[in-house]
Homo-oligomer: A and B are copies of this chain.
Amino acid sequence: MENQVIAEPLHSEAECKRSLTAVGDALYVIGGKWKLRIIIALREGNKRFNELQRTVTGISARVLSHELKELELNGFVKRNVYTQIPVIVEYELTEYSNSLNDVLQSLSEWGAMHRDKIRRER
């Protein structure tokens, strides 16, 4: 990693500021350890709370409940209550969550690429 040259042209200060703001906005809403992982888990299909907790390995019930509320507030997740007996509560992705497809795709590709790189370097 010595004497590396940055191939990309350097960005202007104004571009940098705009990009910082937009990425800051994005991270504010979908950043953190869990939100994107919860969204990915729900892409497989609607899930009840316990199923979701099993899929998103390592999340506590308290944190999952908090994250789901924020995801609902921001319009990514819908909470469906079926008033039969016993009552069933299911979480479902909204159409707006599809707006994250490019973000998820690029993160997923980068994560796989980075894992390969680490593996090769060992």
Contact = CB atoms under 8 A, between A and B. Distances in A.
Interface of A: 1, 4-8, 10-13, 15-16, 18-27, 29, 31-33, 36-37, 40-41, 43-45, 55-56, 75, 78, 92-96, 98-115
A75 to B, nearest CB: 6
B106 A105 contact: yes
Q: How many copies altogether?
A: 2
A58 to B, nearest CB: 9
Contacts of A111: 21-27
Given A4-B78, A13-B44, A109 B31 contact: no
B22 A115 contact: yes
A43 B113 contact: no
Nearest to A35: B27
A94 B45 CA distance: 40
Which 4 pairs show the lowest CB-CB distances between chains A and B? A26-B111, A22-B111, A25-B111, A16-B44
A94 B117 CA distance: 15
